[in-house]
Amino acid sequence: MSLTILHLSDLHFHALPRTFPEWASKRVLGAANLVLRRAQHYPLARAKALVEQVRALSWDHLVISGDLTQLALEQEFEQAREVLSPLLENPECVTVLPGNHDRYVAAAQFPEDRFQKHFGEFWTEGPLWAKALGEGWHLLGWDSTHPNDWWSACGTVPQATIAATERHLSTLPDNAKVLLANHYPLWFPEGWRVKPRHELHNLLTVRTWILRQPQLRAYLHGHVHRNWHLTIPRKGMPALEAVNSASSTEVLHSGKTSSFHCIVLDGEVLAVEPITF
């Protein structure tokens, strides 16, 4: 029996700060970007249309790999939860992990973690999210986000997360097949210009580690607002599929050919289909 996974990312529900403290720190820059550019690219009607599109499809598990919000405001999380609610009725079939915009400033995490407050039932407070999907397939999730200085959108995969992943993989059969979800990309299309202030601090270390794990079959992410599917060859083990579904709610522009991805798991085969709406 095959399994169908839908992968969305970077939904960017947005609102402007309402109080003076909410305007503090880098939110000033984020709000300016929202007013001048991003709000036009992420209309609420587009997000609602995405929900209807996903509802109309048949799937076994839904993965949203971060950036539900733009400024990590309470009202943005509330809106995201409300609009997405038709897709969240069965938490056993949904995984939602945070992106850097969901931890945009320290106030989004302390004293109360707003992401955990609104989406914690689809995630974990520990270093690793783990879910058995069935048919020998498993899903793991990482949180590599943290507040940054105003000029940075970087993330870091903690060593504790790598260690927890190694321990978990060691408990699975050697022939287990694993999908790993994280917000940040590890591979890019040929000729892509990587921005050091926009990616994982430990990108090369994490990439090298993943390439050595034969049980890992796919890496699902977002962050860079252009969808892609790359096949990464590995010596002596199955290739790794890198799938970017960023900006699932963004209005499609020239050069953007899909909004999200449908991943079909059938035995040893993993097939990735881009979906445009």
Q: Quick check: 39 pLDDT over 90?
A: no
pLDDT band at 247 (very low <50, low <70, confident <90, very high): confident
The angle that helices 74-84 and 44-55 make with each other, rounded to 10 degrees, is 30
pLDDT of residue 251: 87
CB-CB contact of 178 with 139 (8 Å): yes
Q: Quick check: 13 pLDDT over 90?
A: yes
Ordered DSSP codes for 110-133:
SSS-HHHHHHGGGS-SSS-EEEEE
* Whether the predicted model's global pTM rises above the 0.95 cut: no
Residue 8's contacts (CB-CB under 8 Å, 6 or more residues apart) are 50, 54, 62, 63, 64, 65, 245, 248, 260
Mean pLDDT within 224-244: 97
Left (φ > 0), alpha (ψ -120 to 50) or beta: where does 223 sit? left
The CA distance from 22 to 34, in Å, is 15
Q: Quick check: 38 pLDDT over 90?
A: no
Q: 3-275 is classed in which CATH architecture? A: 4-Layer Sandwich (3.60)
The residue that leads in pLDDT, 74 or 252, is 74
Q: 245 exposed, middle or buried (CB, 10 Å; 0-12, 13-18, 19+)? A: buried
Alpha carbons within 13 A on the beta-carbon side of 101: 27
Ordered DSSP codes for 169-198:
HHHS-TT-EEEEE-SS-S---TT----TTT
CB-CB contact of 153 with 105 (8 Å): no
